[in-house]
């Protein structure tokens, strides 16, 4: 008489169903961790038909210095600066820091100064290509921009952004009302290409997993991050903390996260909100740009050190690739002498894993505005981000360094 074997007595079944429980749990917990709170959204104000009342320099109508670091941004700079010059707020300046550009960025900025109706608001600060010792490019450009700024609030934004006309007035009003010291908003991602749709959802998943907005906005949690595409900070707070001239901020490649950490660590109020509709960005225009962009920050932006990164290198394929491959599991088990798992059982396990995966991706896809096929590309994105993370960690630890905007960092020099 054949003795009955329970699932926990078969290594193949134990492995299969342990994986099912883990994957279902991962997506349910991830969704719970990153589901936004209603209060963590921007409150857009109606477009102003004329300059807002309140008087120049009053607490509710402060002078704002918008600082845009730009290095070889001829593709983006006109759209960005034009949108900034056309804000429906009347008490601000725009400082573009041309960080040693060798393309047509400078000429475009000169043309905007001369031809735009609000060109007098624009000031272009030109830097040399070589950096002072101990500085990374973007923190240095932002620091130099703040030295020219006259505002009681500073807005740091990127050259690949577009700002709705009511963006500055809406975010400033909300920051003042909430008594926030650093107010930062998430953006609408412009994702026109195939690789945009494949890669951005996985990137968003990773960032949200590491930095859940609920924890970022919890003053009792040490987790802190900001979106470098839009950081609105009180000048008094920035100066008191030393800004990007602080030794630990000068060479960072994660200028947004590290500034947010300093602000929160010193007891100031940080608020990260959903700003879609007021701010949009097209981060990368090719697979090569995407790879290099995320490779720059994938390892350095991780929490938990090398051990956690190694766990991610194993875990990422497990939650993104393996659910699609489970129907092949019985054949693999048979090669190893185990016949407990049938094809029907493996297919059921795959369906049970794919249901929460698909539900999570449907919710996330809607928020990002990505195309329907991106969910089917989930395994491809998982493989590619595993490779990006592994290469990022390897390049940092072997001192080969990471490259960005024609400059090398963490290369042992």
Please write the tens of the pLDDT for every residue from 110-166: 999 999 999 999 999 999 988 999 999 999 999 999 999 999 999 999 999 999 999
- 265 and 134 in a common domain: yes
Are 254 and 383 in the same domain? no
**pLDDT of the residue at 362:** 94
Tell whether 145 and 241 lie within a shared domain: yes
* Same domain assignment for residues 29 and 122: no
- Looking at residues 247-260, what average pLDDT do you find? 95
Per the domain annotation, does 140 fall within a domain? yes
Check pLDDT > 70 for residue 49.
Answer: no
Q: What is the CATH number of the domain that holds 281?
A: 3.90.550.10
pLDDT of residue 306: 86
302-319 pLDDT, tens digit per residue, is 887 888 999 999 999 999
Residues 355 and 260 in one domain: no
Task: Give the mean model confidence (pLDDT) for residues 249-275.
Answer: 96
pLDDT at 1: 44
Give the chain's mean pLDDT. Answer: 91
- 370-389 pLDDT, tens digit per residue, is 988 899 999 999 999 999 99
Is residue 26 in some structural domain? yes
Read off the pLDDT of each residue in 276-283 and give the average, rounded to a whole number: 95
Residue 351 lies in a domain: yes
Query: Taking the CA of residue 340 as centre, how many other CA atoms within 13 Å lie in the half-sphere pointing to its CB?
Result: 17
201 in a domain, yes or no? no
Q: Could you tell me the pLDDT band of residue 77, with boundaries at 50, 70 and 90?
A: very high
Instruction: Tell me the residue range of the domain where 363 lies.
Output: 7-33+303-398
What pLDDT does 405 receive?
76
Specify whether 152 is located in the same domain as 267.
Answer: yes
pTM equals 0.91
- Of 341 and 134, more confident: 134
| Domain total in the chain | 2
Given pLDDT bands bounded at 50, 70 and 90, which one contains residue 55? very low
Q: How confident is the model at residue 54 (pLDDT cuts 50, 70, 90)?
A: very low
Q: Say whether both 150 and 244 belong to one domain.
A: yes
The helix/strand/coil state of 335 is helix
- Residue 45 maps to a domain: no
Confidence at 5, pLDDT banded by 50, 70, 90: low
Q: Which residues contact 22 (CB under 8 A, 6 or more apart)?
A: 318, 319
Provide the pLDDT for residue 411.
Answer: 64
Report if residue 267 sits inside a domain: yes
Residues 177 and 262 in one domain: yes
User: Is pLDDT at 57 greater than 70 in this prediction?
Assistant: no
Q: Under the phi-then-psi rule, with left for phi > 0, alpha for psi from -120 to 50, and beta for the rest, what region is 134?
A: left
pLDDT score of 413: 54
pLDDT more than 90, % of the chain: 78
pLDDT in tens, 265-278: 999 999 999 999 99
Q: What is the rounded CA–CA span in Å between residue 84 and residue 121?
A: 10
* HEC per residue, 197-246: HHHHHHHHHHHHHHCCHHHHCCCCCCCCCCCCCEEEEEHHHHHHHCHHHC
* Farthest-apart Cα atoms in the chain, separation: 93
Residues 172-194: tens digit of each pLDDT? 999 999 999 999 999 999 999 99
Q: Which long-range contacts (CB under 8 A, 24 or more apart) does 133-136 make?
A: 134/247, 134/250, 134/251, 135/250, 135/251, 136/250, 136/251, 136/252, 136/253, 136/255, 136/407, 136/409
| Position 57 in a domain | no
């Amino acid at each position: 008489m054949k003795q009955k074997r329970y699932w926990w007595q078969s290594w193949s079944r134990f492995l299969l169903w342990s994986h099912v429980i883990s994957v279902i749990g991962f997506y349910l917990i991830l969704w719970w961790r990153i589901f936004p709170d209603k209060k963590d959204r921007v409150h857009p104000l109606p477009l102003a038909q004329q300059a807002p009342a309140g008087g120049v320099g009053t607490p509710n109508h402060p002078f704002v210095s918008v600082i845009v670091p730009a290095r070889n941004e001829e593709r983006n700079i006109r759209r960005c600066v034009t949108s900034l010059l056309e804000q429906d707020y009347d008490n601000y300046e725009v400082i573009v820091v041309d960080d040693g550009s060798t393309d047509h960025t400078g000429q475009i900025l000169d043309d905007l100064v001369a031809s735009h109706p609000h060109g007098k608001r624009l000031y272009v600060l030109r830097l040399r290509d070589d950096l002072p010792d101990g500085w990374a490019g973007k923190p240095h450009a932002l620091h130099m921009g703040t030295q020219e700024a006259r505002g009681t609030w500073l807005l740091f934004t990127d050259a690949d952004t577009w700002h709705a006309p009511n963006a500055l007035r809406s975010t400033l009003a909300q920051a003042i009302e909430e008594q926030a010291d650093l107010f930062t908003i998430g953006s609408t991602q412009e994702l026109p290409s195939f690789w945009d749709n494949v890669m951005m959802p996985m990137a968003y998943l990773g960032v949200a997993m590491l930095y859940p907005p609920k924890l970022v906005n919890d003053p009792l949690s040490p987790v802190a991050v900001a979106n470098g595409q839009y950081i609105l900070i009180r000048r008094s707070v920035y100066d008191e903390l030393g800004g990007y001239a602080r030794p630990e901020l000068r060479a960072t490649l994660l200028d947004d996260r590290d500034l947010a950490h300093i602000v929160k660590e010193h007891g100031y109020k940080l608020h990260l909100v959903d700003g879609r509709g007021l701010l949009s960005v097209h981060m990368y225009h090719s697979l090569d740009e995407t790879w290099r962009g995320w490779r720059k920050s994938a390892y350095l932006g991780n929490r938990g050190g090398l051990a956690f990164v190694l766990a991610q290198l194993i875990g990422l394929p497990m939650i993104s690739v393996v659910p699609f491959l489970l129907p092949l599991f019985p054949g693999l088990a048979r090669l190893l002498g185990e016949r407990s798992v049938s094809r029907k059982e493996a297919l059921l396990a795959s369906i049970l894993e794919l249901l929460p995966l698909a539900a999570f991706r449907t919710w996330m896809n809607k928020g990002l505005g990505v195309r329907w096929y991106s969910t089917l590309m989930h395994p491809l994105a998982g493989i590619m981000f595993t490779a990006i993370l592994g290469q990022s960690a390897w390049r940092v630890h072997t001192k080969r360094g990471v490259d960005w905007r024609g400059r090398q960092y963490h290369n042992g020099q």
